[in-house]
């Protein structure tokens, strides 16, 4: 006998004329307006990134160190408000605020994204191994993250930037560690702790799930269980935290710049712009408000995208 | 140790799995107390046999199943599977040994990774052990999926949540079969399913068992289900074995008072019968501080003083029928007549 | 004993609950899901009704429709639901609030998630009493203790001070029942109340429900997939399939004279203790119908062993049997009819032929 399946054990699908379509019908895939928020967020970040990358080749963006002559023909302080001469006005050194905002996006976005990636890689790794192995691994990781969380973040950042800069000066092999990368690493370390905690908590609950037990009972090694079984289930949580963290880190870079711990002199960032011009907000609001607005819209866009992505990755909602 | 006994263990060359004095304890937080999940049980399973493990929640039946797989390793005792002592194997040797025995879990949806395609899930064991070429793996997975009644093309593009509970259980069964194990431990595989689907899955297990020459350990709380699929049933209560018997004997001639309770609790789909039955009062006590003597004594209708102080040993009451009770409902046979 | 909290209007004549052509449809991206499709029945005061069916048969949705517990968004409701002579099918959440607890109460499958984990048991029972019945705190806690005694929880006083995690699953389900009974409802809906419990505890909980129903002259609606559960604990049984009522009769009448092949199949799929072990179970092949595109004729036809061409094309109406006007069924060739017997004989013949052929190989 080739098969033992008879009429009474007939597989569920064989007998029923498959009422539930296995694949969704094609017409369901028609384009749908995804909502104003997400369109705005993607559009805004897309155009900002485009402008920042190609600023050097776009004629309508002056170089950030170019001096815009005032109405009297000579450069001066805050001479133009927003208008045709300078879209976002000029700042205290006759620089074009629009140009500085665009060039500032280069540094700000880079710092934010790289610091977040650093935080996700390190924090995610620590969180997964702590949650999966428990025991002493867990205890050590928790001590590290607790210390990072217990110290005031700003104080920690100041100390870290300071120490890393000293290191870069002393050690020749750290030549690549410019001020920008120092800040990336500092902010990345700060982002590690909360990410590690969240990933650990998720891992703790996932490792008790039966599919993890099933993988172990199939003889899978710990590495395989962590990366093939647990990690895919962590992605939504990591994405949500990552995108929220990204916005916080961009703002944090501003805060560091505010304290004079910004990137190299001459490289504009949003934080530095705000810092330099905030004293004159009464007479020249544009020099402060526009960088603030950019920061705000960027943070908002990342949050909208993060929210949408995590919903997309939620199996139950995406399945409908 | 009292209350356990090994009178029921068989001395046969066909023994596939033999557990002796298995103890599993878990610490309760940092209180210094411990949960006595399994307190010294001995069991054996012959090749091709289906052993049923039945009892209320907290009786240690699932823990026993997992302890056999060494997930986690038992506190003490011995587990001999296909001639090798599993408790003494190193981590890597144990991983290798686990391919010979597989597990099916209660929650069909939770036991499949929600983020992977069903076909991938079933193929995973072959990928882990790098068995065969890609083409051979595909062929094997497809044929097993067909066997359990899942369309392979649909499995290739769907995730577990797109299947019903019964289908997910079929997928779990398919996954457990791809490595050609000799033993499958089914941990409440049908408890979460509707009766109609339950019957489908039970029939499927019987068919596959015959076709692949499997040995099954079937864990459940419903004696009617266990009886249907098993050759031999062990009734557990609070980490101990109460009674071991061939399944028909257990139903016709229960020797332990607890077995009678379990039999009486099963709802009978007949309005004329159901009203006359009496259920047992109360629930099992906590396995943290189990009662002394026979662990069933606080709920037992026939409990005497001796039951509160002395733990009964398993002894024969019939052919292949053993009971751990001072006052069994069946007269014990003399040990010499065995 | 608990006369204090007995509802006063128990003696109105007529049935307690009347359903007329009740429909509940859900709007989903895939289309309209006809979860409950034209169900009518009546439930008398103090009676126990079992609603039986597989998952996806609409039994849970039906009980929640009666309770008015479905999310208003995307739900399309139709038909009429009369409770104590009052139409409740179209009431909003606000009006239903006066019905919940005092008139109708519900217990759910999972006693773990239906209790608040950070609140003491006593408070969870007493609070609704204080709010709904305006009892003083002292009075409410005294009543709570008595309720716990009613549901046979030992050491009720001590248990009031405990949190849900300190209790076993069976104890939690008893607490859920106590909470449901607190305001003295006229009807209690139990949705798979014992599915998450052990068989021993299941028997206890079912007995408890029956006992409370008799003591309080309360109606009980027991929703389950297991005919074994309802057999000993209900007066009437309604069998649902694919959102439709397919058979309804008194419990005794149903088991004595099953008409619908689906009911018969459900009964036969239960493993019987008295059968030898390894007796092959008669499973129902296939799956419940897709409620977006239900089959044209009888909804059970694709899985029915006795299905004939007529079953695929024409939907059978719900009709009474010749012997009992209260025994309703929806089938063209009911079990026991000459046609059905003939089909059965034919199937048996082809089966033995098949077996002979298989044996010959």
Asked whether residue B277 falls in the same domain as residue B156, the answer is no
Q: Is C151 on the interface with B (CB under 8 A)?
A: no
d(CA B105, CA A216): 13
Domain boundaries along the sequence of chain A: 87-315
User: Cβ-count burial of A216 within 10 angstroms (0-12 exposed, 13-18 middle, 19+ buried)?
Assistant: buried
Distance CA A278, CA B95 (A): 64
Partner-chain residue, chosen from B57, B198, B279, that has the shortest CB–CB distance to C203: B279
B314 occurs within a structural domain: yes
Same domain for B127 and B185, yes or no, is: no
Residue A9 with chain C: CB contacts under 8 Å: 283, 285
Of residues A1 and B214, which shows the higher confidence score? B214
Q: What mean pLDDT do residues C79-101 have?
A: 84
Does residue B107 sit within a domain? no
pTM: 0.81
Residues 6+ apart with CB under 8 A from C256: none
Looking at the fold, whether B262 and B327 belong to one and the same domain comes out as: yes
User: From the candidates B222, B253, B269, which should be mutated to test the interface with C, based on the most C CB atoms within 10 A?
Assistant: B269
Q: What are the chain C neighbours of B265 within 8 Å (beta carbons)?
A: 199-200, 202-203
CA A174 – CA C187 distance, rounded (Å): 77
Contacts of A20 in chain C (CB under 8 A): 290
Closest CA to A4 of B136, C354, B164: C354
Q: Which chains touch B (3 or more CB pairs under 8 A)?
A: A, C
Size of interface B-C (CB pairs under 8 A): 139
**Quick one: which of C187, C43, C27 has its CA closest to C106?**
C187
Same-domain check for residues B159 and B92: no
Task: Tell me whether residues B196 and C232 touch, CB distance under 8 A.
Answer: no
- In A, minimum Cα distance to B164 occurs at A12
Give the other-Cβ count within 10 Å of A250's Cβ: 26
Q: Contact B219/B187 with Cβ under 8 angstroms?
A: yes
- What distance in Å separates the CA atoms of residue B21 and residue B297, rounded to the nearest whole number? 22
In this prediction, residue C276 carries a pLDDT of 87
Compute the C-alpha angle A106/A109/A115, nearest 5°: 130
Tell me whether 0.85 is exceeded by the ipTM: no
B-chain CB neighbours of A216 within 8 Å are 71, 98
Taking an 8 Å cut-off on Cβ atoms, the answer to whether C277 and B247 are in contact is: yes
- CB of B159 closer than 8 Å to CB of B115: yes
Q: CB of C199 within 8 A of CB of B191?
A: no
Mutate which: C172, C210, C270, vs B, most B CBs within 10 A: C270
What does the mean pLDDT of chain C come to? Answer: 85
**Residue A91 neighbours by CB under 8 Å, 6+ apart:** A78, A97, A100, A273, A276, A277, A284, A287
DSSP A128-148: HHHHHH-HHHHHHHHHHHHHH
Query: Residue A11: its pLDDT value, please?
Result: 40
Chain B CA closest to residue C154: B282
Cα separation, A88 vs A284, in Å, equals 11
Q: Phi and psi dihedrals of C40, rounded to 5?
A: -130, 135
CA-wise closest residue to B318 among B262, B259, B254, B261: B254
Of C346 and B169, which is predicted with more confidence?
B169
The whole-number pLDDT of residue A24 equals 43
Does A316 score more than 70 pLDDT? Answer: no
Give the pLDDT mean for C250-270: 91
Tell me which of B163, B179, B195 is where a domain ends. Answer: B179
DSSP code of residue A88: T
Backbone phi, psi, residue B333, to 5°: -85, 155
Contact: B128, A219; criterion CB under 8 Å = yes
Q: Which of C53 and A86 is assigned the larger pLDDT?
A: C53
Cis peptide preceding B149, ω within 30 of 0: no
Residue B27, classed as helix, strand or coil, is strand
Determine the residue among A14, A219, A317 to mutate to test chain B binding: the one whose Cβ has the most chain B Cβ atoms within 10 Å. A219
Residue C293 has its nearest CB partner, among A10, A14, A19, at A19
Question: Do B204 and B60 reside in the same domain of the chain?
Answer: yes
Instruction: Give a three-class secondary structure readout of B46-90.
Output: ECCCEEEEECCCCCCHHHHHHHHCCCCCCCEEEEEECCEEHHHCC
Contact criterion met (CB below 8 Å) for B2 and B312? yes
- Compute the mean pLDDT over every residue in chain A, rounded to the nearest whole number: 77
pLDDT, tens only, A276-300 = 777 777 777 777 888 888 888 888 8
| CA distance, residue B89 to nearest chain A CA (Å) | 14
pLDDT of residue C355: 66
Beta strands in B105-142 (DSSP E): none
pLDDT along chain B (338 residues), means of 10: 67 88 86 86 92 89 91 90 90 88 87 89 90 89 91 88 88 92 92 87 92 93 91 93 92 90 85 63 80 89 88 89 89 54
Q: Which of A13-22, A255-264, C51-60, C265-274 has the lowest mean pLDDT?
A: A13-22
- The reply to whether C235 falls in a domain is yes
Is the pLDDT score of A15 beyond 60?
Answer: no
In the three-class reduction of DSSP (H, G, I as helix; E, B as strand; rest coil), residue A320 is classed as coil
By Cβ distance, the residue of C29, C303, C361 closest to A15 is C303
Distance from CA of C290 to the nearest CA of A (A): 5
Last residue of a domain, one of B126, B157, B179: B179
Contact residues, chain C, for A15 at CB < 8 Å: 285-286, 302-303
Rounded to an integer, the average pLDDT of C342-360 is 73
- Say how many domains are in chain B: 2
Distance CA C10, CA C16 (A): 9
Selecting from B129, B162, B175 the residue whose C-beta is nearest the C-beta of A219 gives B129
Same-domain check for residues B245 and B324:
yes
pLDDT of C219 reads 93
Task: Give yes or no for residue A23 having a pLDDT over 50.
Answer: no
Instruction: Tell me which residue in B164, B248, B279 faces C277 most closely, judged by beta carbons.
Output: B248
Reply yes or no on whether the pLDDT at C169 is more than 90: no
Residues of A in contact with B166 (CB under 8 A): 12
**Helix/strand/coil (H, E, C) string of C150-214?**
HCCCCCHHHHHCCCHHHCCHHHHHHHHHHHHHCCCCCEEEEECCCCCCCHHHHHHHHHHHHHHHH
Domain range for B138: 116-179
Predicted local confidence at residue B201, as pLDDT: 92
C228 close to B269: Cβ distance less than 8 angstroms: yes
Chain C residues with CB under 8 Å of B267 CB are: 199, 202-203, 206, 226, 228-229, 231-232
8 Å CB contact of A12 and C303: no
Contacts of residue C29 in chain A, CB cutoff 8 Å?
A: 28, 320
Instruction: Please identify, in words, the CATH class of the domain defined by A87-315.
Output: mainly alpha
DSSP state of A228: I
Record: contact B261-C200, CB cut-off 8 A: yes
**Chain C positions with Cβ closer than 8 Å to A:** 28-30, 280-283, 285-287, 289-290, 293, 295, 302-303, 305, 351, 354, 358, 361
pLDDT the model gives residue A142: 92
Mark yes or no for CB contact A19/C290 under 8 Å: yes
Quick one: which H or E segment has residue C218?
none
B174 in the same domain as B49? no
Q: Determine the pLDDT at residue A31.
A: 62
Locate the chain C residue with the closest alpha carbon to A25.
C30
Cα–Cα distance measured from residue B141 to residue B119, given in angstroms and rounded to the nearest whole number: 7
Judgement on whether residues B80 and B158 belong to the same structural domain of the protein: no
C-alpha A103/C-alpha B66 separation (Å) is 60
Tell me whether residue B5 is in a domain: no
- The whole-angstrom distance between B268's CA and the closest CA on chain C is 5
Do both B245 and B318 map to the same domain? Answer: yes
- Are A12 and C287 within 8 A, CB to CB? yes
Average pLDDT estimate for C62-87: 86
The CATH number for C253's domain is 3.40.50.300
pLDDT at C220 over 90: yes
Burial of residue B131 (CB within 10 Å: 0-12, 13-18, 19+) is middle
CB A38 within 8 A of CB A305: yes
CB B285 within 8 A of CB B294: no
Overall number of domains in chain C? 1
A 211-250 → B contacts, CB under 8 A:
211, 213-221, 224, 228-229, 232-233, 235
CA distance A218 to chain B (A): 6
Q: Is the pLDDT of residue A8 over 60?
A: no
The 3-state DSSP class for residue B329 equals coil
Q: In what order do the strands lie in the sheet with C104-107?
A: C104-107, C187-191, C219-224, C48-52, C236-241, C244-250, C328-329, C319-320
> For testing the chain A interface, which of C54, C55, C285 should be mutated: the one with the most A CBs within 10 Å?
C285
Q: Is residue C117 in some structural domain?
A: no
Distance CA A299, CA C128 (A): 45
| Per-residue model confidence (pLDDT) at position C305 | 86
In a domain, C308, yes or no: yes
Mean pLDDT of A225-240: 86
Distances (CA, A) of B252 to B121, B227, B330, C85: 42, 11, 11, 52
Query: Given an 8 Å threshold on Cβ–Cβ distance, is C282 in contact with A20?
Result: no
Q: Which residues contact A92 (CB under 8 A, 6 or more apart)?
A: A77, A78, A276, A277, A280, A284, A287
* In a domain? residue B9: no
Domain hosting residue C37, numbered range: 14-89+219-269+280-360
Residues on chain C touching A13 (C-beta within 8 angstroms): 286-287
**Apex CA B189: angle with CA B141 and CA B234, to 5°?**
125
State the pLDDT at residue A197.
Answer: 92
At B250, list the tokens. 């257990």
Q: Are B252 and B122 in the same domain?
A: no
What are the chain B neighbours of A5 within 8 Å (beta carbons)?
147, 149, 207
Residue C44's DSSP bridge partners are none
Which tens digits make up the pLDDT trace of A63-103?
777 676 666 666 666 666 676 666 777 776 667 778 888 88
Task: Answer yes or no: are the C-beta atoms of C79 and C21 closer than 8 Å.
Answer: yes
| Domain contains B108 | no
| Residue C52 phi, psi (nearest 5) | -120, 140
Same structural domain, B41 and B83: yes
Task: Dig out the tokens for B254 from the structure.
Answer: 């229960």
Pairwise CB contact (< 8 Å): C54 & B203:
no
CATH number at residue B331: 3.40.50.300
Lowest mean pLDDT, pick from C7-21, C161-175, C275-289? C7-21
pLDDT score, position A117 = 92
Same domain, B200 and B288: yes
Nearest chain B alpha carbon to A18: B151
């Amino acid at each position: 006998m080739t098969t033992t399946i008879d009429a009474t054990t007939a597989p569920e699908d064989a007998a029923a004329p498959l009422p539930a379509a296995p694949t969704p019908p094609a017409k369901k895939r028609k384009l749908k307006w995804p909502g104003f928020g997400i369109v705005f967020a993607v559009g805004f970040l897309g155009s900002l990134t485009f402008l920042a990358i190609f600023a050097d080749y776009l004629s309508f963006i002056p170089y950030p160190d170019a001096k815009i002559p005032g109405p009297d023909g000579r450069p001066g302080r805050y001479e133009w408000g927003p208008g045709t001469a300078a879209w976002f006005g000029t700042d205290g050194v006759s620089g074009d605020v629009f140009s500085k905002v665009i060039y500032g996006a280069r540094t700000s976005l880079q710092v934010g994204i790289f610091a977040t990636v650093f935080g996700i890689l390190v924090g995610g790794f620590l969180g997964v191994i702590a949650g999966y192995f428990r025991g002493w691994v867990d205890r050590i990781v928790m001590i590290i993250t607790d210390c990072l969380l217990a110290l005031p973040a700003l104080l920690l950042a100041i100390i870290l930037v300071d120490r890393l800069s000293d290191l870069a000066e002393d050690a020749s092999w750290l030549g690549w560690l410019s001020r920008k990368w120092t800040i990336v690493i500092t902010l990345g370390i700060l982002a590690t702790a909360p990410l590690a905690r969240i990933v650990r908590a998720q891992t703790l609950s996932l490792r008790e799930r039966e599919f993890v037990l099933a993988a172990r009972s199939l003889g899978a090694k710990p590495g395989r269980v962590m990366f093939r079984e647990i990690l895919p289930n962590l992605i939504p949580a990591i994405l949500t935290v990552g995108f929220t963290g990204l916005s916080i880190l961009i703002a944090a870079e501003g805060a560091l710049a505010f304290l004079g711990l910004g990137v190299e002199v001459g490289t504009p960032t949003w934080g530095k712009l705000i810092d330099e011009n905030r004293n004159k907000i009464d007479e020249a609001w544009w020099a402060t408000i526009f960088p603030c607005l950019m920061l705000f819209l960027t943070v908002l866009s990342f949050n909208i995208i993060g929210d949408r992505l995590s919903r997309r990755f939620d199996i139950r909602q995406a399945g409908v | 140790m009292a209350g356990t006994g090994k009178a029921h263990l068989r001395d046969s060359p066909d023994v596939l799995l033999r557990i002796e004095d298995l103890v599993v304890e878990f610490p309760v937080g940092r209180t210094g107390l411990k949960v006595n999940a399994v307190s010294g049980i001995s069991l054996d399973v012959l090749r091709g046999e289906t052993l049923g493990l039945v009892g209320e929640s907290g009786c240690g039946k699932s823990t026993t199943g997992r302890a056999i797989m060494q997930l986690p390793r038992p506190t003490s005792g011995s587990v001999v599977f296909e001639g090798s002592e599993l408790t003494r194997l190193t981590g890597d040797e144990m991983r290798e040994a686990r391919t010979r025995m597989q597990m099916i879990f209660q929650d069909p949806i939770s036991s499949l990774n929600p983020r992977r395609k069903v076909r991938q899930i079933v193929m995973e064991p072959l990928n882990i052990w790098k068995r065969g070429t890609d083409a051979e793996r595909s062929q094997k997975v497809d044929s097993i999926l067909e066997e359990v009644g899942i369309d392979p093309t649909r499995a290739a593009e769907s995730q577990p949540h797109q299947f019903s509970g019964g289908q997910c259980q079929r997928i779990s069964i398919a996954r457990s079969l791809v490595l050609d194990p000799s033993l499958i431990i089914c941990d409440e595989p049908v408890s979460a399913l509707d009766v109609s689907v339950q019957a489908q899955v039970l029939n499927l297990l019987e068919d596959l068992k015959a076709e692949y020459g499997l040995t099954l350990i079937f864990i459940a709380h419903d004696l009617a289900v266990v009886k249907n699929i098993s050759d031999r049933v062990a009734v557990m209560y609070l980490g101990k074995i109460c009674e071991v018997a061939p399944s028909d004997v257990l139903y016709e001639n229960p020797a332990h008072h607890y077995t009678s309770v379990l039999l009486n609790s099963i709802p009978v789909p007949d309005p004329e019968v159901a009203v006359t039955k009496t259920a047992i009062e109360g629930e099992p006590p906590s396995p943290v501080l189990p009662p002394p003597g026979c662990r069933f004594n606080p709920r037992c209708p026939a409990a005497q003083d001796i039951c509160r102080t002395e733990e009964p040993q398993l002894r024969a009451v019939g052919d292949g029928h053993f009971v751990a009770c001072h006052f069994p409902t069946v007269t014990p046979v003399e040990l010499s007549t065995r | 004993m608990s006369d204090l909290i007995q509802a006063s209007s128990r003696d109105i004549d007529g049935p307690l609950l009347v359903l007329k052509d009740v429909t509940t449809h859900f709007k989903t991206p895939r289309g309209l899901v006809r979860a409950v499709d034209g169900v009518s029945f009546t439930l008398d005061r103090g009676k126990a009704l079992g609603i039986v069916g597989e998952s996806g048969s609409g039994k849970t949705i039906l009980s929640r429709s009666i309770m008015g517990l479905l999310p208003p968004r995307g739900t399309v409701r139709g038909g009429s639901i009369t409770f104590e002579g009052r139409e409740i099918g179209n009431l909003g959440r606000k009006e239903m609030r006066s019905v919940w607890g005092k008139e109708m109460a519900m217990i759910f499958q999972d006693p773990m998630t239906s209790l608040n984990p950070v609140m003491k048991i006593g408070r969870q029972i007493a609070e609704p009493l204080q709010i709904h019945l305006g009892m003083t705190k002292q009075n409410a806690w005294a009543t709570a203790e008595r309720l716990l005694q009613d549901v046979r929880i030992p050491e009720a006083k001590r248990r009031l001070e405990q949190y849900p995690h300190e209790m076993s699953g069976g104890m939690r389900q008893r607490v859920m029942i106590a909470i449901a009974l607190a305001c003295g409802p006229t009807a209690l809906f139990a949705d798979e109340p014992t599915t998450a419990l052990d068989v021993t505890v299941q028997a206890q909980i079912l007995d408890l429900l029956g006992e409370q129903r008799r003591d309080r002259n309360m109606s009980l609606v027991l929703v389950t997939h297991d005919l074994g559960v309802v057999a000993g604990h209900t007066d009437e049984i309604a069998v649902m399939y694919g959102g439709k009522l397919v058979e309804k009769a008194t419990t005794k009448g149903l088991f004595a004279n099953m008409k619908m092949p689906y009911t018969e199949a459900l009964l036969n799929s239960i493993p019987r203790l008295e059968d030898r072990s390894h007796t092959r179970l008669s499973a129902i092949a296939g799956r419940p119908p897709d409620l977006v595109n239900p089959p044209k004729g009888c909804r059970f036809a694709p899985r029915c062993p006795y299905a004939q061409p007529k079953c695929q094309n024409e939907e059978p109406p719900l009709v009474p049997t010749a012997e009992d006007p209260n025994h309703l069924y929806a089938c063209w060739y009911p079990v026991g009819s000459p046609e059905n017997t003939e089909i059965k004989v034919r199937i048996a013949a082809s089966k033995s032929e098949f077996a002979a052929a298989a044996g010959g190989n």
